[in-house]
Every structure is written in C-alpha cells, then in structure tokens.
Structure 1
Amino acid sequence: MMNCNACESLSCVRGVPVFEALSDKELFIIESIIESHHYNRGNQVFREGEESDSLFVVKSGLIKLTQSNEEGKQHVVRYLFPGDYFGQFALLHHKQNNFTAEIVESGSVCRLRRKDFLPLLEQNVSLAFSFLMSMSEQLQQAEETAGVMHMFEVETRLARLLVKLTSSNKTGTFSPTRNQVIELPSAKKEIAAMIGTTAETLSRKLHKLEAKNIIAVHKRSVEIIDMEALCRIGGY
C-alpha cells in the first residue's frame, strides 16, 4: 500500500506537463525520488544566483518569482500556483537560478533533484526518451503561449490573472451562490509590471471591470461578482 507521502509525491509528478507522456510505471519510478517540503509565508525556496539542481512543483500555496534589475531592485516576474512547476532545465545541466522564489501563501512544494533523476534516465531508455519528448513539446507550447500572451490586451491579461488567483488555494470550483473574494498578492505596481502595464493603467482597468459590475475592489481585496463574464474577458 502506498503511504500518504508517496501519494502526495505522485500527484506532484502527475501535475507536471513534462511528465504527462510517461507511463504509470515510469511515473512511479519518478515518484520514488520526489521530496515534499512545507514552507511558511515569507520563506524562500531558493535565491537568485544560487546553484540550480532541482525541478520544483507547487503542491499548495502561492509563490512569487522575483528578479533583480541593474539597480538591484527586485520586481515580480510571475506567480506560481498549485500545479505550476519551475526549474525543469536544471534536471539536465548545471546552471544558476535566474530568480528568487518566495512563498506568498504558506504551502507545500515538491522537489526532484538532478543527482537522483539522472541515474534513472541512464538506467531506463524508455523513461529518457519519454522525458525528452515531453520536454520538447513543452518548449514548443511555451513559445506559442508567450506569443499569444504578448498579443492579449491588458484587460484580458488582468482578467486571466484574477481568474488564476481565485483558484490558487481552492479546488477550482466556483460557488454560484457566493461571490469569491481574493487578495492581490502584491502591490498594484508589481501586479501591473507582471502583466506588462503601468499601475495607473491597472487601476483604470480594475475600475472598468468594477463599473461593469464584474468585480468590486476593496483596497487590495477583489470580490468576483460575475465569474462567467470575467472568464469571457480572459478568453476562457
């Protein structure tokens, strides 16, 4: 019988797109070397510039990736939600982390280390081939997604972020009888930078959605009044 830690590790593996093409047998092999750690708000999973040697999967909670500019100031690159992963290229070669990963909402993170993963690839040709094929597919999809996101209007990018935030620590189902309230994980300036706009434009777009009775803004809290309309704007 599989213990609870193994179940959690396996669910982490199944949540990573680069492993989607693997068979159940291959997934169980990967599961055997997965580690799971709980982090509290404010903890750092790793820092920018440190040696990178692992793939990480967000099991629960919320993580922000930040990067320092030439002046030494940090800006938010993106947020990572349950099911998101990062660091997959570290499984194949040595490199330094380009970002700092900080916990915004307490949760668990699964970790797969290169030193444990590479011997498995050497011993299992089928696993190695499946992993490389999946990695190739993910690179292609990432390029396509980046191109599409670049063409989205600011309002669309904002709507997609808000929808994503509603499911960051929930089951992903929406109650038809109760509005959901989410907390913006960072200041508006950081949120704006993440979706490629200014704080002023972000405020205007929030007010526009509020005027349409789709959301209601209360300082850093956003109440989702019409989820269906928000999803339509986000292109879902």
Structure 2
Amino acid sequence: MADREVEAFSDIFQIVHFQRGDIIFREGETSNDLYVIDKGIIDVVIYSKVHLGESERIAKLKDGDIFGEFSMLDGAERSATLIAEEDTDLMVAAYIDFHRFLENREHVGFLVMRNLARTLTVRLRKMNHEVQSALL
C-alpha cells in the first residue's frame, strides 16, 4: 500500500485502552468490529458448556495480532471471551467504516482481504494440526 493509503486505512481505527483484567468481549456477544493489538497481551478463553464455570485459555494474542475477523466477516456471535492480561491498547475498526473503506479503495481492499485470508488459513492449519495431534 502507498503511504497515503496506509494513512487513510489507519484513520478508520480508534484507539481503545483496556486495563489488566478487563474483558474486551464475551463469548456469545454480537459485534462485528475488527481489532488489532497495538500494545499488550490478551488471553483468549472459552468456557465449558458441559462443566459450567470451567474455562480454558486457548490462545494468547500479542502486539500486531488481529482478532474479531470471523464476526466481522459473517456476523456470527463471538466464539470466545477475550481478557486483557496486561494494560492493552487496541485499534478498533467499526464494521461499517471498514467495509466502506474497502469498497472505496478496491485495490487496497483486495490486499487487506488477502492478508486476512492468510491469517485465517494459518489459524485453521494450526487448529487442524492440534486436532490431529490430540487424536494420535
């Protein structure tokens, strides 16, 4: 992307600060915002549907990581609860602003969506590997 396109893209994001222990969003909530970690660490937690009250950390996100992309793409409920492990600054893009940007800049939109597809592919491959390892 050209510098002016990067600047325009960054304009759709708002910086939001979370303190250690703050819940960013809960599993089952509806929202389709996209998040990028500017600074901080976030725990990704899922809660057992069988053993109520039990939870498991399934991932740890760090600077530069993107999340919220599934709900942004399909509008489904959040699949996990995210908790700030330390003071964290997030760049948050509202669904409407994100899509408006992509529609108005098709070339940049293609690059962003391609990178998003790569991110999702890496996550899916990792998950497939973990399932295979658990079964063997």
**Following the alignment from structure 1 to structure 2, what is the Cα–Cα distance between the partners of residues 139 and 102?**
21
Map residues 194-233 of structure 1 onto 2, 5 A cutoff. Answer: none
Do residues 102 (structure 1) and 83 (structure 2) align?
Answer: yes
Point out where structure 1 has 5 or more consecutive residues left out of the alignment. Answer: 1-21, 153-195, 197-236
TM-score, normalization: structure 1? 0.50
> Which position in structure 2 is the counterpart of 1:128?
109
**Following the alignment from structure 2 to structure 1, what is the Cα–Cα distance between the partners of residues 87 and 9?**
25
Do residues 51 (structure 1) and 30 (structure 2) align?
Answer: yes
Map residues 1-236 of structure 1 onto 2, 5 A cutoff. Answer: 22-70=1-49, 71-72=51-52, 73-146=54-127
Q: What SS class does the counterpart of residue 66 from structure 1 fall into?
A: strand
Q: Amino acid of the residue matched to residue 49 of structure 1?
A: G
Point out where structure 2 has 5 or more consecutive residues left out of the alignment. Answer: none
**Following the alignment from structure 1 to structure 2, what is the Cα–Cα distance between the partners of residues 91 and 40?**
24
User: Quick check: which has more Rg, 1 or 2?
Assistant: 1
Q: Aligned Cα RMSD in Å?
A: 2.3
Bigger helix share: 1
**Following the alignment from structure 2 to structure 1, what is the Cα–Cα distance between the partners of residues 120 and 41?**
24
**Taking CA–CA contacts closer than 8 Å with sequence separation of 6 or more, which of the two structures ends up with the larger relative contact order?**
2
TM-score, normalization: structure 2? 0.81
**Following the alignment from structure 2 to structure 1, what is the Cα–Cα distance between the partners of residues 132 and 105?**
41
